[in-house]
Amino acid sequence: MLFEDTASYEGVDPDDYKVMRYGVHGTPTTFAFEQAVAELEGGYAAVALPSGLAAITAAMCTYAKHGTHLLVTDSAYGPARRFCDKRLIANGVEVEYYDPLLGSDIERLLRPNTCAVYCEAPGSMTFEMQDIPAIAEVAHAHGLPVLADNTWGTPYFFRAFERGVDVSIHAGTKYIAGHSDTMIGAIVTNERHWLPVRRTVADFGMCVSPDDCWLALRGLRTIGVRMQHQMQSAAVVARFLAAHPRVSRVLYPALETDPGHALWKRDFDGAASLFGVVLKPATEASVIALIDSLALFGIGSSWGGYESLAIRGKMITRSASRWQPEGPLIRIHVGLEHPDDLIADLEQGLARLIAS
């Protein structure tokens, strides 16, 4: 980026992150992506980051400093938890995990040095819903910001700012980009939290290439049709699974039988096509055989794309709540394939399960 003259070079406001001045702060393509995400979600402004995890860590580091206390939901995305345990605690932050089912009762966990409350609804792998408006009411009464990983809800299905979130975090790698072909993250904030968050991202020197922003912007243009379609297919597949004799329960707030259904119905405009399935007790080898036999479900982590996925839900850490499933957990992502084909594939896979 070159400037017309010295006056325009030296006259740039360092807190103006919407003008071209230096590549790390963005290009017109970055700004177009950021503006589109912020508008869709109803936030004040957004900043693009190189991954969803980068968005999580930058958001946390805005508030969590040496000597502060950060409340983090026990159901947080595994690598977010690892960042807290390995980095924040080593840097003198008191990280406290809380039961995701706590609503306004979170008040009793607040300390004079609490800096923020971090949420994720539904939880990674286990899909517990959180009462974010109740948590936000308490947090705001104490002057604290609410940070939320809104990757599952997306800016399209969860209007985070209307529910009390101050800083909404997205792995744009998932439904926003939507085609499993780019890594990108985004943080959307309300006006009050914009500059603190944006300055943190600048301090870390995190930025995204215009090509990745362009892919994510193109993905964003079809997020509505993709998510509506995938939600409908996911409901069909989830209902099939819930009724299957080898399945104990399906962890999906969009199902009426889910304990989080009422909260989901109240707060969300739709559901992502990602859910958990707790099987009846089965041998480990037969669960692996089930997954490996699937022809239409890829085996991989990064959900939110066009293709269906299935993985085992392992290594779930809990310190403030209980997670004791009665059988093995698998996580399903429903893509754009026809649900009848997905069901036929799952049917043959489930037949491989051997009771234990």
The residue number with the shortest CB distance to ligand PLP is 52
Q: Hey, is 69 helix, strand or coil?
A: strand
Per CB under 6 A, 185 contacts ligand PLP = yes
Distance CA 122, CA 12 (A): 41
Out of 30, 51, 73, 182, name the contact with ligand PLP by CB under 6 A.
Answer: 51
Per CB under 6 A, 130 contacts ligand PLP = no
Which of residues 77 and 297 has its CB atom nearest to ligand PLP in the complex? 77
CA trace torsion 286, 292, 296, 297 (10° rounding): 90
Choose the binding region for ligand PLP from 2-10, 51-59, 109-117, 277-285 (rule: CB under 6 A): 51-59
Least distance to ligand PLP, CB of residue 274, Å: 8
Least distance to ligand PLP, CB of residue 186, Å: 10
Q: Hey, is 176 helix, strand or coil?
A: coil
Ranges within 249-288 binding ligand PLP (CB under 6 A): none
Q: How far is CA 298 from CA 44, 181, 232, 342, in A?
A: 37, 15, 20, 12
- Is-contact 169 189, C-beta < 8 A? no
Please report how many Cα atoms fall inside a 13 Å half-sphere around the Cα of residue 126, on the Cβ side.
25
Strand partners of residue 187: 47, 169
* Residue 246 tokens, joined: 């080898």
Q: Which residue type is seen at 301?
A: S
Choose the binding region for ligand PLP from 26-34, 50-58, 287-295, 334-342 (rule: CB under 6 A): 50-58
Q: Which of 126, 130, 177 has the alpha carbon at shortest distance from 155?
A: 177
Distance CA 158, CA 152 (A): 9
Which of residues 231 and 344 has its CB atom nearest to ligand PLP in the complex? 231
Provide DSSP, 267-323.
H-SS--SEEEEEESSB-HHHHHHHHHH-SSEE--S--SSSSEEEEE------SSS--
Per CB under 6 A, 150 contacts ligand PLP = no
Out of 36, 47, 48, 53, name the contact with ligand PLP by CB under 6 A.
Answer: 53
Out of 72, 160, 183, 310, name the contact with ligand PLP by CB under 6 A.
Answer: 183
Per CB under 6 A, 124 contacts ligand PLP = yes
Pair type for strands 167-171 and 146-149? parallel
Q: Which of 188, 189, 183, 187 has the alpha carbon at shortest distance from 208?
A: 183
Choose the binding region for ligand PLP from 49-57, 133-141, 195-203, 245-253 (rule: CB under 6 A): 49-57
CA trace torsion 195, 198, 199, 200 (10° rounding): 130
Which of residues 49 and 237 has its CB atom nearest to ligand PLP in the complex? 49
Which of residues 314 and 338 has its CB atom nearest to ligand PLP in the complex? 314
Per CB under 6 A, 301 contacts ligand PLP = yes
Say which residue the tokens 């009050």 belong to: 192
Choose the binding region for ligand PLP from 15-23, 45-53, 63-71, 194-202 (rule: CB under 6 A): 45-53
Out of 171, 176, 263, 287, name the contact with ligand PLP by CB under 6 A.
Answer: 171
Out of 114, 173, 180, 286, name the contact with ligand PLP by CB under 6 A.
Answer: 173
Least distance to ligand PLP, CB of residue 120, Å: 6
Per CB under 6 A, 157 contacts ligand PLP = no
Least distance to ligand PLP, CB of residue 355, Å: 31
Distance CA 90, CA 289 (A): 40
Task: Give me the phi and psi of 211, to 5 degrees please.
Answer: -65, -45
Choose the binding region for ligand PLP from 47-55, 58-66, 154-162, 288-296 (rule: CB under 6 A): 47-55
Per CB under 6 A, 315 contacts ligand PLP = no
Least distance to ligand PLP, CB of residue 55, Å: 8
Residues that bind ligand PLP (CB under 6 A): 51-53, 77, 124, 149, 151, 171, 173, 183, 185, 301-302
